Amino acid sequence: MIEQTLIILKPDTVQRGLIGEVIQRIEKTTLKIVAMKMVYANKAQAGEHYADDQEWLMSVGEKTLKSAEKKGIKLSRTALEQGQWVRQMLMDYITMSPSVCLVIEGHGAVAKIRMLCGGTSPQEATPGTIRGDFAIDSYMLADSSDRPVQNLIHASGTVEEAKREIKIWFTDKEIHVFKRVDEDLVYRKGSS
Ligand code: GDP
């Protein structure tokens, strides 16, 4: 199915000069960049993107508690408190310096991009993925440094999430309709 997904190259990607490297990996898959811009996010955009949503806050918090538990560390915050704390740090982080936002389109774009990104914690992300190759951060290091995990890239988790997020960063006019020259091959139909 042809889908669209939102990617944000977060301030660590921009500041480390990795924009080209990350975009190249995406382009090479044959997924299509249909929108792209550098954004110095304001608090309102950050707050909308990292929504004050109970389900998201709990899932972020639980992920960290589980990771700490595996390492035998007991955190003092509840899952919800951890989620709220992370949200605040993410909002501060994404408004700190420019990011690059892109809309990527193609067959199975949402899942494919998540696979290219790798796991949330770069320390555990598989080598070959963007986070696995270009970052070393972990939940523990980030938490003890009072900042979000620096993992270079945000990518929508579902098609629905992508629809909501794309509207925050792009107007309809900024999303382009065009054909890549390799599309005839990529989406080729057999003769039978
Ligand atoms: P993603 O979809 O892989 O980006 O992960 P999430 O949606 O769960 O979390 C959003 C972002 O919050 C992550 O990319 C990290 O930058 C940051 N983050 C998530 N969980 C934690 C945490 O427990 N501690 C810290 N410091 N940052 C976190």
**What tens digit of pLDDT does each residue of 129-138 get?**
999 999 999 9
75 pLDDT exceeds 90?
no
The catalytic residues are 154
In the chain, which segments carry CATH 3.30.70.141? 1-40+99-176
More confidently predicted of 150 and 143? 150
180 pLDDT exceeds 90?
yes
The pLDDT assigned to 63 comes to 85
List CB contacts of 89: < 8 A, sequence separation 6 or more.
Answer: 146, 147, 148
136 C-alpha to ligand 1 centroid (Å)? 14
The pLDDT assigned to 68 comes to 81
Cβ density class 110-134: b for 16+ within 10 Å, e for less: bebbbebbbebbbbebeeebbbbbb
Q: For ligand 1, atom 7, name the residue with the nearest CA.
A: 60
The pLDDT assigned to 77 comes to 87
Contact status, residue 68 vs residue 140, Cβ threshold 8 Å:
yes
CATH no., domain 1-40+99-176:
3.30.70.141
**CB of 45 shorter than 6 A to ligand 1:** no
Distance CA 137, CA 147 (A): 11
